Structure 1
Amino acid sequence: TTEIVQDGQDAIARLSAIVPDMVILDLNLPHVHGSEILRTVRGDERLAETRVIVTTTHWQGAEEVEQEADLVILKPVGYEQLRDLASRFLPRESET
């Protein structure tokens, strides 16, 4: 299942209700910056196994999130590239 949210406030609300396998997170979100959402994920025991891929248009400032994210990539990133990157971090069906 894939869920898409429009801003940082929606992301935090959804993360309080679900435990996703993965979060693909843009740093530049309205209302709540992506780095704050990353801190929320990493600070929540329920989300300890959640993988986080961060996307950004500017590397400047992304260095600080590198230590918390599983992967930081520069945009633009195409659908197939993102799918391939995400598949590296998700468990295979035979492993679940």
Structure 2
Amino acid sequence: MKSCLVVDDSKVIRRVARRILEEMDFSIEEAVDGKDALEACERMLPDVVLLDWNMPVMDGLEFLKAIRGRANLKQPIVVFCTTENDMNHIRLAMEAGADEYIMKPFDREIIEAKFAQVGLM
């Protein structure tokens, strides 16, 4: 079973993502911000991280740069899932090492399509 870390400060978004991903046979871990996500990755690195951009403590871009900067870790696939939909945000995310980008709101079909594009399906 593949694992996914859902990183979002919204409990509702985490719950929706969990339901969709569990139906897709992923085991789910949750984090409320980038710092929490880094700690979760140190405990057990997921196959994929579904990552929000705007969060307190450490935002998604800071988390992405931090995880990509850890050369000693096998790198997870990182899929941004955010309301930030302008080209500058997408460019920044891809330059920092994001594998894919999903706009909120999302549904199962969108997640399946993006996960298939990065080889998870």
> Which structure features the higher share of strand residues?
2
Query: TM-score, normalization: structure 2?
Result: 0.64
Identity among equivalent pairs (%):
29
Q: Is the 8 A contact 2:33 2:57 kept in 1?
A: yes
**What residue in structure 1 maps to residue 74 of structure 2?**
47
- Say yes or no: does 1:83 pair with 2:83: no
TM-score (norm 1): 0.78
Alignment length (residue pairs) = 91
1:32 CA displacement: 0.5
Structure 2 spans left out of the alignment, 5+ residues: 1-26
Post-superposition Cα deviations, 1:15-50, rounded to whole Å, max 9, x if no partner, equal 1222211111001122101001101221122133x1
Preserved CA contact (<8 Å) 1:22 1:90: no
Q: Are residues 1:33 and 2:62 paired? A: no
Aligned mate of 2:82, from 56, 63, 78? 56
RMSD between superposed Cα atoms in Å: 1.9
Aligned partners of 2:74, 2:49: CA distance in 1, in Å? 10
> Which runs of no fewer than 5 residues in structure 1 stay unpaired?
none
Give yes or no for contact 1:41–1:47 (8 Å, CA) kept in 2.
no
